[in-house]
Chains A and B, each alone.
Chain A
């Protein structure tokens, strides 16, 4: 592999700018004449706007303009859309309510943007936003999806009677019913999957610049997928023609899904720049982030698992109600459907599965993909149910899982997915060994002597990454293809630029993508520049989410490198008068195998550009592009084992050990992979024991700051024991599966299984706060 090739722990190339304060995030950008925006936001969860008086604000010092929703509509700016069409089981299309970037008429959640103020400074803009007087006629409010479906519930959108967006199903209902009729044992569980706020540390920001001389727009934005942003802003929101719009996502400080979507603020900043004639920058504060960044999860589920007398699974039935908030965010419909129910088979051979999902509007922030997106919800359902069934039957949770593992591949599940490869025994064994499960009972006894309740819980997850085969997702309703593109530009001196449609917001692409070049040509990673996040530089690409940058993005780079390698070999064969098939490239040299004839890599590259001695008919230059469309999803899987100690006096849970044994296929850089797992685990553990998103009855988000929303801190988390096993993914040239989301997907059920084991009560909802744990413990004492 070479010291910097595939599998090497290469320190990150991007780190130097971040550790010296030279990162360039959107809020760091400044352009001549730039002014600042503040949004006027609804204080009500549901209300009719009866009037907006901007006169006081407009007369304040430094105010350049105040713009509202009627003006936005008047200029033909389109409503926000959901880009994945999901139909109900009766065939009717999903019910998409109108979502203007600035409300006019009705507001449907606290924090919805009503007007924008542009002023000389941020402080003046905020002062003036306070002075905009909006008259509201309050309407009744509903925040819980279960309540929104009840007769007489407040109605949000005229397009969606009963607040029902769709009533969708997957799987064979009659086959599943038949399987249940043969059951020797049925395990039933109610599952609550708590609403989360993604909270990347960099708040969203946008800088819109309109240049009247060129009739051209530039938008700096905190995006995970700038090309998609450009497409959607031009084709659907009509802000600017695509060829006149440049979208730049520079350094982005974390995303976790929440920066996939195109939000009202970037649309409005661009539009306001044209309207006011000045560049307009908006930076979210944390309170706005809580009130406007798409939230995650928020499911209520009833699950039933049917087993035969030999404890083999016969069937699984799942009924889920998914809260999508006040409007349908860009990919919201796919999350509780095709990214959720398709993973309900878990690691198990389940002959019959039926899932029914109702998606519902409420007066809350829109819900969309957050790290894992549907797969954590599926894993939580499956792994809480497996653990519960094992406890009901009085058998070992590990052996119960093992008994039902899928062992032959490819495996077609009853819910669309065809698993291509895996070894679930290997990850379970690795996890149990690392966690010293055999020694647990002794540790439990020792803890008891200290007055502590020790518990052990596991979770064997599988997820689908490498999103996704374009034809397959197209047939399931996606509005876009999910391939990726790459371009490899070799400079005349032999250095290399990789232009990629993937976007790094913490994943370390500048390093791992360079490692592909080191592997291929034996060049140092320092000779490679990775360029991303600018629609003027990079050809169309689909961006980064769903753990796709490796399996899809790097596959595109791999394909482009194939073409570069082939051309370089042709040139070298011509110059060295050798057979093309005898040329090898290694350690920065292009050699004729078995001889001492060779050229330096830089000589071949220079030759490509001078054109002095190329094969007849060959075009000069050395630059190749590729588009890669995956043939299947990839299926990372693993075993997570959590050990906790609960203090029975206070209900406090301490995570004393957390083991993650993952199979991600081929690992490019183990240091970065471990880091991705650590971060995912922290978010999953956060969901399990800390993070609660709470609305009061009037629709106010009462957990809208770091004083109220419990972000995991260093003190809350243990050191993690992580390791990987490897079965290569047969579906892509590098054998990669993806590692970005696994930690957040696999960990919540492991934690809750451990706590419920410790306290001896299976009735416990996330987040398992000390109060809830104490009550659950005392309910059975």
Chain B
């Protein structure tokens, strides 16, 4: 067992974990932050994406001990009180979620994408950078739309049935 200290959503959290404990397991089981999900076992689906020191990371692919000393933001830490983060609001506004299971990872990936690209984000880049996040419900159409909207992108995709 190894002691870890991780700042999670702004609060310093301590725990004692088996060395093999994944960051996602620490978040879900030790801290009860069940918003971060596990959808696969090969680091492909991205349901577990969180931010570690400001960068999007698949928390199933990082050991809790590796994250010790880092600052982690999960989906639970994104909104400011009752005020939704603009990306959360955009996912709701554009129906970018159905069953909700991939949604936390999608949103955390999208926030990271927007942080890096800002308003220059275009549809091609969004689709390319969603490569590590799988959604089985939406066909991505409304996820792409939500991300572009949240980015304030001038180049809105051509959408039917608006």
Binding site for B on A (CB under 8 A): 11-12, 14-25, 27-28, 30, 123, 199-203, 251-254, 256, 285-287, 434, 505-508, 659, 670-672, 674-675, 678-683, 705-707, 711-715, 717, 719-724, 743
Contact = CB atoms under 8 A, between A and B. Distances in A.
What 3 pairs across the A-B complex have the smallest Cβ distances?
Answer: A21-B35, A253-B101, A18-B100
A12 B99 CA distance: 12
B47 A201 contact: yes
A284 to B, nearest CB: 10
B127 to A, nearest CB: 4
Given A201-B136, A675-B142, A707 B42 contact: yes
Contacts of A505: 99
B160 interface: yes
A201, A508, A671, A717 interface centre (most CB from chain B within 10 Å): A201
Nearest to A659: B160
A147 to B, nearest CB: 30
A714 B101 contact: no
Interface in B36-60: 36-42, 44-45, 47
A202 B45 CA distance: 11
A11 to B, nearest CB: 6
Given A11-B93, A19-B84, A202-B101, A722 B161 contact: yes
Given A20-B76, A203-B39, A254-B136, A713 B130 contact: yes
Contact of B100 (A253, A675, A683, A722): A253
Given A19-B97, A20-B35, A21-B104, 15 more contacts: A21-B36, A21-B75, A21-B78, A201-B134, A254-B98, A285-B40, A506-B98, A674-B161, A675-B137, A682-B138, A711-B136, A714-B131, A714-B143, A715-B130, A720-B139
B1 interface: no
Interface in B78-120: 78-79, 84, 88, 91-93, 95, 97-104, 107
B160 A720 contact: yes
B131 A713 contact: yes
A678 B161 contact: no
A379 B40 CA distance: 32
A27 B99 CA distance: 15
20 contacts: A14-B100, A16-B92, A17-B100, A18-B103, A19-B84, A19-B88, A20-B79, A20-B84, A21-B104, A27-B34, A201-B101, A201-B137, A254-B101, A256-B136, A286-B39, A286-B40, A506-B99, A678-B141, A706-B44, A714-B127
A713 to B, nearest CB: 6
B37 A202 contact: yes
A715 B128 contact: yes
A253 B99 contact: yes
Contacts of B141: 678, 717, 719-720
Interface string B118-151: 0000010011101101111111111110000000
Given A19-B103, A200-B101, A678 B139 contact: yes
Contact of B160 (A24, A251, A722): A722
Contacts of B130: 713-715
A682 B134 CA distance: 12
Contact of A723 (B32, B34, B36, B161): B161
Contacts of B133: 714
B161 A23 contact: no
B3 interface: no
A714 to B, nearest CB: 4
B34 A28 contact: yes
Contacts of B47: 201
Nearest to A252: B99
B43 to A, nearest CB: 9
Nearest to A671: B95
Contact of B99 (A123, A202, A682, A743): A202
B12 interface: no
B20 interface: yes
Contacts of B41: 285-287, 705
A201 B99 contact: yes
Contacts of B20: 123
B152 interface: no
B38, B41, B136 interface centre (most CB from chain A within 10 Å): B136
A711 B79 contact: no
A254 B127 CA distance: 22
A22 to B, nearest CB: 7
B18, B33, B75, B128 interface centre (most CB from chain A within 10 Å): B75
B98 A679 contact: yes
Contacts of A285: 38, 40-41
